């Protein structure tokens, strides 16, 4: 295969073509017309996936270049942590001599401490303002991209320093990592996510305790960061079976919420995390905040009043029932929607008060509320005639998702109006090809046609 094809594929950022050419035997260290390895072109363009493919195929990220740098050094200078990770390769602590590791850390720290803009000005000696835009460095995290004097760098030096330290097993003090994470004040910034992930991976009790101590920090941003790290311990306890902190984390979060959190945004996130957690104290916390003055906080409480578990969801207690019925009449539509979701999950058809509340929410004046409640009710086929009638009434709405949930809910209840509902549903728009509700309706139509001996056509998806 021609090296020119690889150069062209790298130039246009075509990862699939790059991988095909490499698998066919093209040299991953192919050089461009400028005499540099194609890896340098991928690094300069922030094509992390392409750079990763080249490194995996054997491209030498440590090759000394004419200017005395290496592709890995250029990646560090580029300021994209995603690109650095792609170029760093596996087991860099074993591959790189201690002197090289120290030099990389010093370089990253200089970029971080002096600031990307200051170093960029030193390197270009260009006058005028720096052009700065925000870009996504990976699918989930953002970073500033700076341009001056024909050069471009990204502002992810904090994340790069954090990632290199962990790759080289330098155990940076927890307080320093927390400060590095919150400096940007943005939970979606690369510096935040890098510190969060590293602190989660450090499995000692000392690290967990040092992180947890920040849940009482004066800064709301630091408390929010602490919550993000602790959330990982709840969501991903499998990283180490010997050093999981699920119980300690759940205990801490319940105690934190019960004591009170003054910042509304942090409190909302704290209650959201508790909604994904199992702990005996969670319903009590939920009851504590059902009358909170901020609707975002109240909207988090319905899920806390339900015991989800592995089987059917049930109400936590009688007080939970009272609170949910009260929340069903909340002035905020999102609170009502989330309450309807909780009520729909626990509805058994025997409690007339709850049935009436669900029917009222299915007739809510806000479309989003009706849609959310219909989805919850459809998933639990309780035979309550008033609920089935309310679902059938939703078939006249313009919103396809609401009509789909209404139809699916009638089908699951074996309602005699299912055939009319399917006829009124209409063609599913793009994006529903793998929807389980559309599949269930298609299967129902097929079974009906086979039993009647009439060939039928499934609804389009």
Q: Over its length of 461 residues, how does the chain's per-residue pLDDT go in tens digits? A: 578 999 999 999 999 999 999 999 999 999 999 999 999 999 999 999 999 999 999 999 999 999 999 999 999 999 999 999 999 999 999 999 999 999 999 999 999 999 999 888 988 888 889 999 999 999 999 999 999 999 999 999 999 999 999 999 999 999 999 999 999 999 999 999 999 999 999 989 999 999 999 999 999 999 999 999 999 999 886 665 566 899 999 999 999 999 999 999 999 999 999 999 999 999 999 999 999 999 999 999 999 999 987 778 889 999 999 999 999 999 999 999 999 999 998 988 889 999 999 999 999 999 989 999 999 999 887 878 999 999 999 999 999 999 999 999 999 999 999 999 999 998 889 988 889 999 999 999 988 888 776 655 555 44
Q: Which domain holds residue 93?
A: 89-106+113-199
Print burial letters for 208-232: b (CB count within 10 Å at least 16), e (below 16).
bebbbebbebeebbbbbbbbbbbbb
Is residue 102 one of the residues assigned to a domain? yes
Query: Residues 6 or more apart from 171 whose CB is under 8 A from it?
Result: 165, 202
Q: What is the pTM of this model?
A: 0.89
Is residue 411 one of the residues assigned to a domain? no
Query: Residues 6 or more apart from 366 whose CB is under 8 A from it?
Result: 333, 336, 337
Number of domains in the chain: 1
Enter the tokens of residue 220. 């709301």
Query: Residues 6 or more apart from 52 whose CB is under 8 A from it?
Result: 86, 87
Enter the tokens of residue 235. 């969501």
Task: Return the axis-axis angle of helices 385-393 and 367-379, rounded to nearest 10°.
Answer: 130
- CA dist., res. 459 & res. 228, Å (int): 43
Is residue 130 one of the residues assigned to a domain? yes
Is residue 459 one of the residues assigned to a domain? no
Task: Give per-residue pLDDT as tens, 126-182.
Answer: 888 999 999 999 999 999 999 999 999 999 999 999 999 999 999 999 999 999 999
* H-helix segments, 62-204: 71-78, 81-88, 92-95, 98-114, 116-124, 157-167, 174-182, 190-201
Is residue 172 one of the residues assigned to a domain? yes
Is residue 164 one of the residues assigned to a domain? yes
What is the separation, in whole angstroms, between the first and last Cα of the chain? 42
Is residue 188 one of the residues assigned to a domain? yes
Enter the tokens of residue 402. 């609401």
- CA dist., res. 114 & res. 79, Å (int): 13
Cβ-in-10-Å burial (0-12, 13-18, 19+) of 16 comes to exposed
How far, in Å, are 159, 178, 191 from residue 163 at the CA level? 6, 14, 10
Is residue 272 one of the residues assigned to a domain? no
DSSP E strands: which ranges in 171-290?
none
């Amino acid at each position: 295969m021609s090296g020119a094809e690889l150069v062209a594929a790298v130039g246009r950022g075509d990862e699939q073509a790059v991988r095909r050419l490499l698998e066919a035997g093209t040299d991953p260290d192919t050089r461009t017309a400028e005499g540099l390895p194609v890896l340098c072109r991928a690094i300069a363009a922030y094509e992390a996936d392409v750079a990763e493919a080249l490194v995996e195929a054997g491209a030498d990220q440590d090759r000394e270049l004419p200017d005395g740098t290496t592709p890995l050094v250029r990646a560090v200078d580029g300021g994209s942590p995603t690109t650095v990770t792609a170029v760093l390769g596996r087991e860099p602590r074993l591959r790189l001599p201690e002197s090289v590791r120290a030099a990389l850390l010093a370089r990253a720290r200089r970029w971080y401490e002096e600031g990307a803009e200051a170093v960029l000005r030193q390197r270009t000696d260009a006058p005028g303002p720096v052009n700065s835009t925000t870009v996504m460095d990976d699918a989930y995290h953002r970073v500033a991209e700076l341009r001056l004097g024909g050069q471009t760098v990204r502002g992810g030096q904090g994340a790069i320093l954090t990632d290199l330290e962990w790759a080289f097993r330098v155990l940076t003090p927890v307080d320093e990592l927390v400060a590095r994470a919150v400096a940007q004040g943005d939970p979606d910034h690369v510096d935040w996510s890098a510190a969060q992930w590293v602190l989660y991976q450090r499995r000692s009790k000392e690290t967990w305790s040092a992180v947890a101590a920040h849940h009482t920090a004066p800064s709301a941003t630091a408390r929010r960061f602490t919550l993000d790290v602790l959330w990982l311990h709840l969501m991903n306890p499998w990283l180490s079976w010997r050093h999981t902190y699920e119980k300690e984390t759940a205990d801490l979060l319940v105690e934190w919420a019960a004591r009170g959190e003054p910042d509304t945004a942090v409190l909302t996130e704290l209650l959201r995390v508790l909604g994904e957690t199992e702990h005996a104290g969670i319903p009590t916390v939920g009851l504590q905040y059902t009358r909170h003055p901020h609707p975002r906080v109240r909207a988090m409480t319905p899920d806390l009043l339900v015991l989800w578990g592995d089987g059917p969801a049930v109400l936590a207690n009688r007080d939970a029932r009272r609170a949910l019925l009260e929340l069903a009449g909340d002035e905020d539509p999102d609170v009502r929607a989330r309450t309807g979701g909780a009520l729909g999950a626990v509805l058994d058809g025997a409690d007339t008060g709850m049935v009436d509340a669900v029917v009222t929410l299915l007739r809510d004046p806000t479309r989003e509320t009706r849609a959310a409640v219909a989805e919850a009710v459809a998933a639990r086929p309780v035979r309550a005639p008033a609920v089935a009638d309310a679902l059938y009434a939703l078939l006249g709405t313009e919103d396809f998702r609401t009509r789909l949930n209404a139809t699916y809910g009638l089908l699951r209840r074996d309602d005699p109006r299912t055939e009319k509902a399917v006829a009124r549903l209409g063609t599913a728009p793009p994006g529903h090809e793998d929807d389980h509700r559309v599949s269930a309706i298609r299967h129902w139509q097929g079974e009906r046609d086979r039993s009647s001996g009439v060939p039928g056509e499934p609804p389009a998806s």
